[in-house]
Every structure is written in structure tokens, then in C-alpha cells.
Structure 1
Amino acid sequence: MASDEAYDIDDFGDEENAEDNGGVDEEAAADFLQAADAGDIAVLQQMSDRTELLEAQDEMGNTALHLAALNAHVSCVALLLELGLDVNAVNDEGNTPLILATICLAPTAAECAEVLIHRRASAELENHQGYRALHYACGEGNMPVVRLLVETAGVDVRAKSHDLLTPLLCAMINSRREVVLYLLQRDRGLLHIVDSNGDYPLHFAVLEKLTDMVGLLLE
């Protein structure tokens, strides 16, 4: 349903459409989630009195807050938090709204992440693969979000995923030069952390033929 369509509260289902899944009207839940995904704050406001919709999830376990954060819809994120959605809710992959916000490359991604952090989103939570928000921000080269996580949220720049990848390695794999330089300025000790094969970042760069990263690490 496009975000610029006219909505009527009567179109969002009634008790006859309610399913056995906690009594939630599935059609209304789908519309609520779609509005969050599209950034349609008018629809979210219109449906905000339907408190049962605040628990709605899509097929991946994403709440409306996950979807709004993934697309960096700042106003929608702020509204959903005011409505009481869990800032640290996890989807089926263990991702929080903050983690999804770090993946987004929209200009408003950093502002969205900041809103979440100020509402006590934990930047240290990891998903089922052991990746945290900083891993993704570094891999995407999302420098404003990287700075926010490190300087405002105070995250651990040495955090390792389950396969022992650090944020530095995530940045190196994706040739994120600015992020690599920033992380090393913050903590040169990152150069001495080994991966799952026992390789240091320089060895990793050589083995993976990341020639641009080899030169950078040798500077």
C-alpha cells in the first residue's frame, strides 16, 4: 500500500477479521507494519490507539520499529518509541532496531541511530551470528554511525563475532578506508587481534589479496 494513498481508519479491519494469533487483526497489523516500512507517520498516528498492533511482527519477526529503523524514518521511530515499542526487541535473526539502522545508508541513518541510543538502545547487543551494530556500520562504511557508536555509545571496538571478525576486519573486507583509519586511530591494538584462523589483520589482508588495505596497515 503506497504511502501517499488516502487512508481511512475503517479500512484497517474489524473484529470479524481477527485471527487466533492473540486476537490481532492480521490485516490491520499488515497495514501498520507497511506504514512503518514506508515512513507513513500519518497512518501510524491514526492507528496508534490500536494497542494490540504494537506487538505486530512480519514474517521475519520484525516489529514496526525494526522496519522504521531499517529505512531510517526518524519521525516514525520517535513516534513508535513514544507508543512504547521495545527499543531492544530482536527479530528472528537476533537483530535489534539499532542494528538495522546501521545497515541503512540513507542520510538520516545516523539521526535515527542517535534517537534509538538516546532511548537506551543497547549498542552492545549481538545478533545470532555474533555481529553488533558497529560491525555492520563498519562494513557498510557508514562513518557518521561509526562515530556515533564509538564516541556516544562507547561501544567496544574490539568486539568479535562468532567467527571472530572484528569491526576492523569488516571494514577491511569491504575496503572502507576511512573507517579503517578511524578505528586504528582509536585503538592500534586492533592490529594484534587474530581471526578464527589465527591471522592478524595484516596477514588477513595479504591472504585475501586486499592490496589497498595492506598498504594502509603498513602506513
Structure 2
Amino acid sequence: MAAHQFPFSASALRSLQLEAEQQEKRQILKKLKLRSTRPLLYAERSDRPSQCPPLLCTDPVLLYAMYNGDRTALQDYMGVKCSANLMVQSRNHELRWKSHQTGIWSLTYEEEFTCPLFVTASRGYVDCVQLLLRKGADVEFSPSGESALHGACENAHTECVKILLRHGANPNAESQDGTFPLHRCKIPESYHCAKMLLQYGAHVNRATEDEEHTPLHTAARHGMWEHVDLYLRYAASSDKRNANGETPLCVACGHPQTPQELPQYFQVCQRLVEGGANIHIRDNDQQSPLHLACKSANPQIVQLLLEHGAEVNAMSYSANTAMQYILQVTAYKLDHQPELIVRALLNHGAIRIWPGALIKVSAGLRDIQLPAGTEVETSTVTGERKINFRE
């Protein structure tokens, strides 16, 4: 039956989509005439490596050498008969439903393809990377949709990144999921990787395909203030919005933080504000950086924003102010010292009554029995009512 004629669940529709993609991969393999019956497929002639299709490797000895960095064993196989641009079958961490030839559906890991250069570079095997490049490995060969440079940056292997860039790796190579090598620098140890990418011409304001994150968004999300400082020095835009309308400052303020991570996120926000970030820009839900900082309960960031003129009583799309956001999370953010945030908000003029309750309070004044000698004064600006007592 077609998908619109039967009430498939979302997971079942996703599995059918992944199965269709897998079938497409099988058709491509058939067209390339990749026969996986032999342990290792060699090119018939070594003088024509560029004219031969990629070869699929299933030899366990060669696989062990690649995944464990055994340069000696790898060199024995990388002779005149073996191409360095092999395809290696691997498994993704994503589970999916798969239909076998027997008609039984089972939950299995999605199968992908990679290459020896990606495997060795992502694991930091410098000697193996150099050997493969000398044997003619293509730095842009990416059967899985990710180049070796993506893998080296993601795991912060600086020396491998340097070797790949010197051999012509593209610092602006786009992966299958729409990310670039700079976006793979997600841990503090990847600082020198990011620096080398920028030195070789990486675009600092390049956004991802889906979330539209720039490298500055990525660094702010992971609380890496050194990366933030580096990108700002390379003219990164501090107010560029992502798909949710968030600037890097919004991302840093709203990302969940442990008590140990509060200082590093404060350093990120401090550097962004010093770099000219606009503290009044709101996301698609009309949440300002101050709202988001209260939701994550970071007292230092809240104090920083208030000192730079953040609107303490501004309301989001859900009609909540900064005070309401911190009161909503106080019960499970006690280790963050939320009382410091409440005090800072009150010192900067935060209202003490929930805005949604003002209407009820004003309406209630009309129903109560006031004692003799009192009058109700109504403001012509805000509509609020004030009780004046006379002696």
C-alpha cells in the first residue's frame, strides 16, 4: 500500500525512506560493478588508478591495520597492486528498520562507506595518513559524504589537519549533512585546527544547511570562548541569525549549563558583548538574551546583560519576563544560585507582579468593599489602579 493509504507511524515512514536510500546505494554499487565476494579487490592495472572505479575492501587484515594505525601492515598492502582510494564498509550509530530478503523486518545499524584516509585521519594516525597520501590517496575522496578533513577536525587531530591542508584539502568542503570543517571544531582541543583552517581560507561566516549555524554559533553553543575570540578576530558576524532567529549570544545564553560550566559560558558572552553583539536582538519566540540567560540560570551573564542596558521587564511571545523565567527554573537550579539573579533583576527595576496578573488585580479592586475615606486612582497611561487611604 502507498504511504497515504495506510496509517504509518513517523518512525515507519522514516524507515521506509531510509530503505529507499539503501536501495539506491545498492543500485549505484551494481553500476560500479563492485563485487564484494573477494576479500580484497585490486585494480587490474596500477598505471590507471584514476580510470578505475573505487574498490570495496573487506580484508580483515587491512581493516585492522587501518583502524589500529599499524603502519607496517598498511605499507605491506599498499604496494603496486593496491589502490589507496579504497571503499571501506562501516556502520553508523543510527538504528533503522531494515527488510531482509526473507520479508522479516529487523532493527539494525545503518551501513555506510568510508575510506582509509578518513579512518586514519579521524583517529590521528599521522604516519598512516602520510603513507596513504604518498601512495596517491585523494584528500577529497569521501564515500560517506565527509572528507578526511572533517574527521580530523571533529576529533581535534591538529597534525593530521595540517598534513591534509598542505596536500590540498579544501577547508570549505561541504559534507553530506551540510556542515563544513570549521563546524566540526566542537571541543576546546580543536582550537589550533580551527586556526589552521582559517589561515588556509576557511569562510568564517559560512552557515550550515539545516540549522544555519555559523562557526561562531557552534563555538558559543559549546562554551568555547577561545574559539569565539578567534572567529571574531577573523571578522565573524556576531549578530548573524540561525534558522531559529538566534544570534551567537542567544545560543550561548540559552544553552543548558552545569554549575561547573557557568564561568566558561560567561566568558563567551562577555567576549561577544565586547565584540559588538547586540543584546536586544530576539529570536523567533521573542526571547532576548536576558530571557535565555534566566532560563539557563547563569547569574554572571544576567548581571553582564543588565549592566549593558538589557530591558528587564520586556516580555517574550509567551508573555513572560526575565523574572518569570528564573522563577520557573529555580526549583531545579538551586546549585546555580538563582537568588542572585532575582536580586539583580529587582535591583534593576523588575516588576514584582506577574504581568498577566495585573488585569486580575485591577479588576479585583472594583469588587472589594473599600472602607470609608478611601478612593481608587486609575492611571491614564497603564490603566493600573492605586488605593489611596484618607485619615
* Structure 1 residue 24: Cα displacement: 4.6
Q: 167-176 vs 129-138, which deviates more?
A: 167-176
Q: 2:282 aligns with which of 181, 194, 204?
A: 194
Find out whether 1:9 has 2:75 as its counterpart. Answer: yes
Using the size of structure 1 for normalisation, the TM-score is 0.83
Structure 2: runs of 5 or more not aligned: 1-66, 90-113, 258-264, 308-391
Amino acid in structure 1 at the alignment position of 2:195: E
- The structural deviation recorded for 1:87 is 1.0
Paired residue type of 2:204 = A
**C-alpha deviation, 1:4, in angstroms:** 5.6
> Contact 2:117–2:137 (CA<8 Å) still a contact in 1?
no
| Cα offset, 1:54, TM superposition | 2.2
Greater per-residue strand proportion:
2
Equivalent position of 2:202 in the other structure: 121
Q: Distance in 2 between matches of 1:168 and 1:184?
A: 8
TM-score, reference length from structure 2 = 0.49
The residue identity in structure 1 corresponding to 2:297 is L
Residue 130 (structure 1) aligned to one of 212, 217, 238: 212
Listed one character per residue, the Cα deviations across residues 60-100 of structure 1 (whole Å, up to 9, x for unaligned) are: x2100111111121111111111111110011221111111
Provide the residue aligned with 1:91 in structure 2: 175
Between 1:134-143 and 1:166-175, the stretch displaced more is 166-175
Structure 2: which amino acid aligns with 1:218? L
| Contact 1:24/1:53 (8 A) holds in 2 | yes
% identity of equivalent residues: 26
What residue is the counterpart of 1:62 in the other structure?
A: 146
CA contact (8 A) 2:85 2:116 kept: no
Distance, in Å, in 1 between the alignment partners of 2:205 and 2:298 is 31
Alpha-carbon contact 1:14-1:25 (below 8 Å) kept: no
CA–CA separation in structure 1 for the residues paired with 2:298 and 2:124: 41
| Residues 51 and 12 of structure 1, relative CA distance in 2, 3 Å threshold | closer
Cα distance change, pair 104–205 in 1 and its aligned pair in 2 (3 A):
closer
CA distance in 2, matches of 1:46, 1:5: 8
1:25 is displaced (CA, Å) by 2.3
8 Å contact 1:134–1:149 — kept in the other structure?
yes
Aligned amino acid, residue 251 of structure 2: C
Quick check: 1:15–1:25 contact (8 Å CA) kept in 2?
A: no
- The structure carrying a bigger helix percent of its residues is 1
**Distance in 1 between the 2:70 and 2:137 partners?**
25
Tell me the secondary structure at the aligned position of residue 279 of structure 2.
Answer: helix
In the alignment, is the contact (CA less than 8 A) between 2:254 and 2:296 conserved in 1?
no
Partner of 1:142: 224
Whole-Å Cα distance in 2 between the matches of residues 130 and 143 of structure 1? 20
Q: Provide the residue aligned with 1:26 in structure 2.
A: 87
Partner amino acid for 1:196? N
Which has the higher Rg, Structure 1 or Structure 2? Answer: 2
Moved more, 32-41 or 193-202: 193-202
